[in-house]
Structures are given as C-alpha cells and as structure tokens.
Structure 1
Amino acid sequence: MDHNKLAELLFPHIDKTMEEYLTEIYPPRNLPQGAMVTRFAPSPTGFLHIGGLFTALVNERLAHQSGGRIILRIEDTDKKREVEDGITGIVSGLRDFGVEFDEGMMSQTEEKGDYGPYQQSRRGPIYQAFCKELVKRGLAYPCFCTEEDLAAIRKQQEAEKALPGYHTTYARCRDLTMEQVEENIKAGKPYVMRLRSPGKPGGRIKYKDVIRGEIEMDENIADIVLLKTDGIPTYHFAHAVDDTLMGTTHVVRSDEWVSSVPTHLQLFYVLGLKPPKYAHVSPVMKEDNGAKRKLSKRKDPEAAVSYFVDEGYPKEAVLEYLLNLANSPFEDWRRQNKTAPYQDYKLQLNKMSQSGALFDLVKLADVSAGVIGAFDAEKVTKDVLEWAKGHDEQLYALLNRDTDYAQGIFAIDRGGKKPRKDIRKWSDVRDYVSYFYDETWQGEYDLPENLQKEDMIAILDTYAKAYEEAPDKNTWFDGVKAICEGLGFCPEVKAYKQDPTGWKGHVGDVSNVVRVAITGRKNSPDLWSIMTLLGKERSLSRLRKMKEFLAK
C-alpha cells in the first residue's frame, strides 16, 4: 500500500500539514514556568449542570492561580443532540457566576483568542490534516463497513465470546488494497476514518492521575473512528488535536472519562505528541434516603445552575460553597481569612475527593447567609435590585422607588463582628423587608406567649404616650426601661433572673411587645434602627393597630 498516495486520494483538498499547524499556525504559548493552561469543554446539548460549573471553577482557579490561561471550547461535533442557543446558555450560565475565561467562545457567535476557532465544528480542516498525516504513516485507514456489517461483526464476536469492538481480525477494512479503496470511493460508498491501533490484546498501560494517583488499565486495541462520514471528528480525536494545538497542560474533567484515557494516550502516542496531565473529578452527589447518588438533571432542580440564579443565591456564595466541595481545607482557610477574596486560596488537585462531594442545600444556605452578611448595604441593595428586576417585579418596584430607603433597611445590623444572617438568598428579601413597606405590611402578629393581652395593651398604650425619637440605641432602651416599673416589669434582666417574684416579666418582654407591634415578629434586626427608619408617625400607627387588634 502506497500510504502517501492513499492520503492524497482521501484528502486532496487538505494543503496544510500537521507540522505547519504545530509550529506556525498554533505556536507554543509564552507563559511563566509552572503556568497551567486548562480548558472547560462542554457540549451545547442542554442546560449548564452544577457539576459543569464545579469543573469550570476548578479549571479557572488552577489556570489563574498559576499565572496561566483558561479556555472555553465548545465540543459541538454531535449535531444531532445540540439544542438551539446551547452555547448562549453555557456562556451566560458561567458568566452569571463570575467564571471568567481568557479565550474561547464569548457568546453564540463571538470568540476571542489566538488559538481558535473554539468550536470544534469549525475546525474540520485541522482534524483532517492530522488524520492525513496518520494515513501517511500507515496509522489510519478508511472503513466502508455499513451498520449491517458492524452488526454482523458483533454477532460473530458474541458467538466466539470475543472482546466486542472493531479490532484485530474483526477489523474488516484494515487491510484493504489501494485498488479496493479506489473502487469503493469511485462507487460513492460512505466511509469513516479509523485508527490502526497499535494496541495488543492483554496489553496494559499505566498513567498517573493528578487526583486519583497511579491507575493501570487495559490498553486500547480498537480501531476507533477518527473522522465520521462528514469529516467531523469524534470526541477522542478532536480532544488530542485541540488540546495539543491550544497548549493545554492539564485536562481536568469528569470521572466518566477515566475509561477513555487509554484511547486518548494512544492517540497522543501515534501522533507523536506529548499528552497533558489528566485529573478526573468525581461527580457532585446528593444524599437520597441515606445513600449518595449523582445529581439528576431529571429529578433534581438544583442540578441546573439556573436554579441558583432563580432562587437568588449570590454568585460569591455559590463559588465559596463549590470551593468548599472542591477542597475540604478551604473551610478552615475561610475561617482564618474572613475578608480575603476566595481567589487568595490556593486550590490543590490532590486535596479533591475521589468519592464525590455531597451537595447540601442546607449547607449552601448557611454559607450564603454568611457571604451576604459580609456584604455592605450598598452591595446588597445593588445585587437585590439586579436580581429582582428579572425575578420579582413587585419587590423591584418597592426597592427602586427609594433606593436610599432600601439601603437604610439593609444597613441595619450590618457590619461588626457578628452580622445578622437573616438573608440566605435574594428570594428571601421580599419577606425580610415586608414590614418596612405599608403595601406589604400584613398586620399579622406573632404574639408573646408569656404575657396577658391586658398587659400587652398596657405596654403599647404607655409606650405610645411616652414615645420620643431617640438619638441612639442606648437612649432608646433607657426610655423603655423607664416605663417598666409602672407596668409591673423589672427594668433589669439580671435583677429579674435573680428574683423574678413580684414581677410580670422584664424589660426584654416589654421591648418585645413593641417589636411585635412594629414588625409582627418576635425576632428582628435592631428595633431602634427599624423605628428610626420608619419614622415616628408610622411607628405610632403600628402601635395603635396592634392595640386595636388585641382589644377586639
């Protein structure tokens, strides 16, 4: 067989060589020593999964903390499964959570960077040039087998209890003559391009996974498809070509690809290329009836990143939580570095779980409450408005009507060593601010159970008559203490606890009645701050309304 002649027969339109792509068109990157080049390479076949965001974040951190680059490459070679605007969904989903890429697809049609195109469907001639080189080396050949032929091979292998697949003596087109190939092409028979695998039955390979350590597996013996009948590559071949040309140093991807490593390493070997380092990330898991399972696109709404956008989890909180899942030491680091940006943490691949991190919405809510608690009032106002604009029109209208007033709400109890954690996500804000607006104030009361109605009415009546706008919290509380004894309540909590006899309660009970009148709740942020923001007239009106409610 004249392999050069075969290569020209199969690829007459390919005028660039593999060597030209490797040295001239895609020259090596000029990056600092130790810099990682990573990539996130999703297929536009559905929504962005939380596991995808997790993997993208790991890739982004590794690249940027090492002074390297991260690429967003779209692997769209399977056109049958592609969804409309699939790239837009991926790009916007990643952007919503602040995962920034240095190069790659920036929208459905736009890209940036010098190593594109970043859509595999637009790189056809590149793959064909590499395949042409393999044909010249006698390492690739055209396969004209039909579906019926492949079915017959499978049936024969079953009967002979042989390893399934297109390999060794079962690879019918492997040794076609030049004349047979020419005849088939002239007859218009469709064909795929296959690898002439150098693997041997029983052969083994070893490789070191950065997360999982040393792994030994059977080597690939299958003559895998390199190019489909339309000239578009399979994932395996495209992966080897693209990661080489784009200078990828570390392939960090889902553990479902572990079984493909022998094939991928073999492709790098036959092409004469250096493979990247592999790190296979375990899937994000969920606890279900005491057992762990993968998050399901079908069963679990939180599997889609859009869930977290709709619920209003700040991107900072989601990223913090995902880093917590990625590296367990992150939690201790955060406790010691409360105000440091998460980018200061050095992510370590060898600290990643091999069994799959458990995604816990309760834990996420706790992390998110802490993150929001550390925001200043201006940021909370801005972020809530941005979220509400697309998810809660009434809330947006209320807050946007007077943003200074809104910022005043969020400023209460914010800052300090122990900020409140009432807000876990932006969808909680509607309830959180409800008593600050007359339109949403329900006039419903979570009444103290330890007090009689008559005593609560007396407290409200006496406090309303003595009401004065106080310049600070301490002055206000002194005013509450001043009415206690006349109502039969101890003005000092400590004194009451030492001798509760003779008292109906203490100053905390008195202030709690006022709190319920103003907010409807027994638990709220600082009451003096709330009343100051509401103003005297509205505060007195609330006291009267609760008194009327109790008097019915």
Structure 2
Amino acid sequence: MSNENMAELLFSDVGQLPTDIYSLYPPRNLSISAMVTRFAPSPTGSLNIGGLYAALISERLAHQSNGVFFLRIEDTDKKREIKGGIENIIHSLLYFGIHFDEGPTLSGGEKGALGPYKQSSRIKIYKIFIKHLVQKGLAYPCFCDKDDLQKIRISQQNLKVTTGYYGQWAKHRDISFGQAKEEILDGKPFVIRLRSSGSPDRRIIYNDLVKGPIELPENFQDIVIMKTDGLPTYHFAHAIDDYLMGTTHVIRGDEWLSSVPIHIQLFETLGFEIPEYGHIAPIMKQVGASKRKFSKRKDLDGTAEYYREQGYPGIAIGEYFMNLINSDFEEWRMVNPHKSFRDFFIYTDKMNASGALLDMNKLGDISKDVISRLTGKQVFDHLYTWSKEFDSELYTLIDKNKEYTVKILNIGRTIEKPRKDYSKWSDLKTIIAFFYDEWFEKDVLGGYKIPTNVSLDVAKEIVLGFSKTYRFNNEKEAWFHEIKELAVELGFAKEIKQFKANPNRYKGHVGDVAMVLRAALTNRTNTPDLFDIMKVMGENRVFERMERFMLS
C-alpha cells in the first residue's frame, strides 16, 4: 500500500492507467516481415550529415519491406531548442528525398494515427507510465541535490569502487512515504529513478543488426527517468514512444551502444517487446593524412544544411550514401545504370562497421552523373527552386527568362555523351552567366579573352568576316565550313595539323579563329559547343554581340 500512496503523493494529477493508453495505440496491421523504423532528432541545431545518413538507412529498411518510416521530434530540451529547428529538419529530409509516412508537417500539423509525434506533447503519457512504475515499486523519488551526489562520488572514488547511484549508494532507494512527503512539503526538488534489477557481476549478450553479437555489462545503476522539471529523460521517453508507435528496428549512431543495457532493462521492466537495434559507425572527414569525426562547431560541411545551400541534388546525396551503406551498391549500379537507387535492397549485416569516409570528390562525380541524366527542364526546375531560397539574383534572372534558360540547360544533353561540367546548383551561375546580356556586359568591361597569338585588330577582322557570311539557319557542317574558309582567307591554317607542320607560314590555325568567335560571343575560353550556343542565343543576340566586339 505504501507504493500506491507514494505514487499518489508524487502524481496526484495523473488519473489514467497504462491500459487506457494501450487502447489508443493498437498494433499496426503489417506483415511479419515489414519493418517499422523512425528518425528521432532533437531540434537543437542543424541536422548533421550523420543524422541524415541514419535517416536514409531507416527509411530504406522500412519502405523496402513495405513497412512504415516515421519522424518523431524529441523536443523536451526546450532550453537548447532553436527557432525553426523542426522546420529545418523536415525541409532537409524532404530535400534529400527521405519521405516519412507519419510525423509533424511543415504546416504545423501532423500525419499519422499514433501521435503526437513531438515528445513535448506526450508528457502526460510518460507520467502515466512513471506513476505505474512507482506503484509497482519499480521506481522511486530521489531528493539528492548536486552536493549530495558529489559526496557519494568522492566516497566511491576514495574506496576505489564504481561511481554512480546504485545499491548501498542509492540514498533514497528505500525512502518511506513519510520521508518523501516531508521532503515535498519542504519544497525539495526531486527526480524519479528506476530501481535497477541489474548486477555488476552479470553481462548481457544481444545481437546488433550491424555489428553482430555483442556482450555488455548489465545496467545496475538506478538511472533517472524523470528530471526535476517533470520531463522524462531520453532513455525513458524513447522506450515508451517506440513501444506505443510499434517500432521494430532502431538505427542510430554507435555512440548509443553503451546505452543498450539501460534500454533493454527499461523495455523489460515495462513489459514491452524490445526492438532490434543497429549501431552505425560515424561518417568520417579527411583532414590531411588522417581522418576524424565531423565536429559540430568546426565543420560546416558536417551539416545537411550545407549540402542544401551548396545545391547538391538530394538524390545525389542519397546515391552517394548508398555506396557507404553497402559496398556492393557500386557493382549493382553498373549493372542497373538507369534504375533508382531505391530499387537496391540494403542489408544491415553488410554495412560498414567502422567509420566510412566522406569523399567529396566521389560525391561530386556521383552528383555530376545524376545531373547528367536529367532533362534541361528538370534541371531548370531544380535550379529554380534552389535559387529562390539561396540565390535571389539568379532566381530573378531565370524567372524572367524561363524558356531561354531551359534551352541553355538543354545544351549538351545527349544520351551518347551527356555533359558533366557541374555537380551542384551553385556551380551553374558562373557556367551560364554569359548567356544573359546583363551579366555578359559587366564581364566584358574588363576586356575580351582572345587568344594571345591573335592581335585585337586581327580578331576584329575575324568577327567582321564571319558576320558577313554567317547564316543563322545553316547546319553545323556548313557553319564550320564558313569558319574554315574565313581562316584561309585571313592567313590561318585550315587544319591544326597544317599549322603544326609549318607554323611560320600561318598566323595561327582554325581553332584560333573559332576561339576568337567564342570570345566575342561568350568571353570564355571554355564553353559547350559554340554552334549550339549560337543556336540558343538566337540570331539577334549573336549579331549584337559581334557588333559590340567590333566596336570595343
């Protein structure tokens, strides 16, 4: 009866029982092989690259098994929560193509029948279960303050025993109802601790989804399950939520590996079925000759936001992550070049057990491949959406020139040999800038980039001569024939090999002539095919730019 009295003393405002909650969370109607996974970040900062990696693994495991992947926000730490943190998480997941079936939405609502999906909205549920544990004598109030805990620690250190709150050192483990009531009446703050059934002499063996069989010491500490502010600890809240929401598999960073004994004990104490845990190694960063974990403070490229701001296509990040998740993905991709990476099945026992290195060069190459498979219109849509958020100047210009921009982006998009000159949307501005008169005019103020072996006067002769014979509707063969004829007329070799055989005889070769025309029209030394550029620019713009060059 004293446990019942203790529970009422601590939680007089809690009237419901766990059975009342179970009725609100019926079992999911899924096949035996279906996995229910979750991503449960805290909105206390930018989503990191490791979190994104874990989220993709969880999403793939759920959806490839016809299961459910949900987003749960662990927002009980209100002091560290940042404004817009939840929206940032959702934006990042959606941008990188990680779609969740249940969870909070950008509109402020939720989707799914097993919510609320924010822990701050579930406090009443946690207290129902905490009260139940107190009633059963499985949890108790602890009134120790920092000084009390420090004294215990010093005594343990002097005796050279394990530090912590357990056994004979658990000062309030057997506190009476009367003592607890007196402390509460005195206004003494308290936490709720789990009465551990573990022993320092015993060990547990569990099978990790990624690392295989692991042996760990049993938890014998009386851990805190409710803090002095009435909020649950992560350990307790996640156990309640994962059980009620039907989570079957949990993928998380291996920094949580040491918490497995605590979590297993919590599930067993609560009488819940234990989900399967898989602990993934952190993604590493190359620094000089060594590699290390990403730092939240020092590494901007360790956040999902960085890759979104840079404009890496979300699908490219997913494609790259698949290479890190299972090593045989690369072989599969070679056999299936046109399939979505989502058609590849991942297996937890094939995952990298040690830290995978984030190779920016390989990411760039994969991103180029991904973009090369898109149409000009698809590239435009991505660029339009990205620039609206991250580059207002570019957005304004392409919004004003939509059809023209699509034509620009279509250049070189052949199936046989698609262009691969950019890996992210932020690269495109400098690559396509010369097509737009506003930017081109600013660029040529600093002078035209003509070949060094061609004088400005001769360059103007080339442009003048070409402008007289140029016909916009000519096919490419006729167009290049005109350039060759002009080259001969002005003393340039018709073929490069002619020039190399007798360089003193010519002013240069046909490539120099083409380079002068390229400079006059683009002020670039390296561009996509010049014929295609002129077709996209249109007859009027081509003649205007040639005239401008001749007047320079």
Match of 1:18 in 2: 18
Where in structure 2 are there 5+ consecutive unaligned residues?
none
SS at match of 2:367: helix
Q: 1:465 aligns with which of 464, 468, 473?
A: 468
Partners of 1:11 and 1:507 lie apart in 2 by: 89
Displacement of 1:383: 2.0
Asked if the contact 2:280/2:353 (under 8 Å) is kept, the reply is: yes
Q: 1:396 to 1:230 in 2, by over 3 A?
A: closer
Match of 1:526 in 2: 529
2:83 is equivalent to residue 84 of structure 1? yes
Match of 1:477 in 2: 480
Partners of 2:490 and 2:253 lie apart in 1 by: 67
Match of 2:6 in 1: 6
What amino acid is aligned across from residue 522 of structure 1 in structure 2?
T
Displacement of 1:532: 1.8
Matched ranges for 1:285-434 at <5 A? 285-434=284-433
Partners of 2:387 and 2:476 lie apart in 1 by: 32
Asked if the contact 2:450/2:459 (under 8 Å) is kept, the reply is: no
SS at match of 2:438: coil
Matched ranges for 1:34-433 at <5 A? 34-107=33-106, 109-433=108-432
SS at match of 1:273: coil
Displacement of 1:426: 1.9
SS at match of 2:356: coil
Partners of 1:14 and 1:453 lie apart in 2 by: 88
Q: Is 336-345 or 210-219 further displaced after alignment?
A: 336-345
Partners of 2:106 and 2:75 lie apart in 1 by: 14
Partners of 2:348 and 2:450 lie apart in 1 by: 53
Asked if the contact 1:46/1:83 (under 8 Å) is kept, the reply is: yes
Q: 1:417 to 1:335 in 2, by over 3 A?
A: farther
Q: 1:452 to 1:188 in 2, by over 3 A?
A: closer
Q: 1:519 to 1:76 in 2, by over 3 A?
A: same
Q: What are the superposed Cα offsets for residues 476-523 of structure 1, whole Å, 9 maximum, x if unpaired?
A: 223323334334444455777788895655544432332222222222
2:537 is equivalent to residue 538 of structure 1? no
Asked if the contact 2:450/2:515 (under 8 Å) is kept, the reply is: no
Partners of 1:275 and 1:25 lie apart in 2 by: 20
Displacement of 1:452: 6.1
Asked if the contact 1:87/1:108 (under 8 Å) is kept, the reply is: no
Displacement of 1:525: 1.1
Displacement of 1:547: 5.0
Q: State the number of aligned residues.
A: 548
Q: Is 179-188 or 52-61 further displaced after alignment?
A: 179-188
SS at match of 1:25: coil
What amino acid is aligned across from residue 17 of structure 1 in structure 2?
L
What amino acid is aligned across from residue 29 of structure 2 in structure 1?
N
Partners of 2:40 and 2:268 lie apart in 1 by: 22
Q: Is 368-377 or 461-470 further displaced after alignment?
A: 461-470
Q: 2:520 aligns with which of 513, 517, 520?
A: 517
Partners of 1:411 and 1:108 lie apart in 2 by: 36
Q: Is 373-382 or 330-339 further displaced after alignment?
A: 330-339
Asked if the contact 1:374/1:415 (under 8 Å) is kept, the reply is: no
Q: What are the superposed Cα offsets for residues 276-315 of structure 1, whole Å, 9 maximum, x if unpaired?
A: 1111122222111221122222212222322222222222
Partners of 2:473 and 2:186 lie apart in 1 by: 96
Q: Is 489-498 or 168-177 further displaced after alignment?
A: 489-498
Asked if the contact 1:166/1:224 (under 8 Å) is kept, the reply is: yes
Q: Is 102-111 or 233-242 further displaced after alignment?
A: 102-111
CA-based RMSD: 2.5
TM, length-normalised to structure 2? 0.92
Displacement of 1:548: 5.5
Matched ranges for 1:432-471 at <5 A? 432-441=431-440, 442-443=443-444, 444-449=447-452, 456-471=459-474
Displacement of 1:90: 1.8
Asked if the contact 1:285/1:292 (under 8 Å) is kept, the reply is: yes
What amino acid is aligned across from residue 232 of structure 1 in structure 2?
L
What amino acid is aligned across from residue 79 of structure 1 in structure 2?
K
SS at match of 2:439: coil
Q: What are the superposed Cα offsets for residues 206-261 of structure 1, whole Å, 9 maximum, x if unpaired?
A: 11111111211111110001112233211111111111111101111111111111
Asked if the contact 1:376/1:415 (under 8 Å) is kept, the reply is: no
Q: Is 538-547 or 119-128 further displaced after alignment?
A: 538-547
SS at match of 1:418: coil
What amino acid is aligned across from residue 292 of structure 2 in structure 1?
R
Partners of 2:327 and 2:524 lie apart in 1 by: 38
Partners of 1:446 and 1:354 lie apart in 2 by: 52
Runs (4+) of structure 1 moved beyond 6 Å? Answer: 494-501
Q: What are the superposed Cα offsets for residues 89-138 of structure 1, whole Å, 9 maximum, x if unpaired?
A: 22223233332211111148421211111111221222222223323332
Partners of 1:185 and 1:486 lie apart in 2 by: 102
Partners of 2:291 and 2:448 lie apart in 1 by: 42
- Percent identity (aligned): 47
Q: Is 136-145 or 38-47 further displaced after alignment?
A: 136-145
Asked if the contact 1:470/1:476 (under 8 Å) is kept, the reply is: no
Partners of 1:297 and 1:473 lie apart in 2 by: 54
SS at match of 1:217: strand
Q: 1:525 to 1:150 in 2, by over 3 A?
A: same
Partners of 2:359 and 2:399 lie apart in 1 by: 33
Displacement of 1:84: 2.7
Q: 1:446 to 1:282 in 2, by over 3 A?
A: farther
Q: Is 65-74 or 308-317 further displaced after alignment?
A: 308-317
SS at match of 1:148: helix
What amino acid is aligned across from residue 58 of structure 2 in structure 1?
N
SS at match of 2:386: helix
Asked if the contact 2:206/2:213 (under 8 Å) is kept, the reply is: yes
SS at match of 1:440: helix
Q: Is 539-548 or 529-538 further displaced after alignment?
A: 539-548
Partners of 1:150 and 1:423 lie apart in 2 by: 58
Partners of 2:476 and 2:297 lie apart in 1 by: 52
What amino acid is aligned across from residue 11 of structure 2 in structure 1?
F
Asked if the contact 1:210/1:278 (under 8 Å) is kept, the reply is: yes
Displacement of 1:349: 2.1
Asked if the contact 1:39/1:70 (under 8 Å) is kept, the reply is: yes
Q: 1:152 to 1:281 in 2, by over 3 A?
A: same
SS at match of 1:128: helix
Q: Is 91-100 or 243-252 further displaced after alignment?
A: 91-100
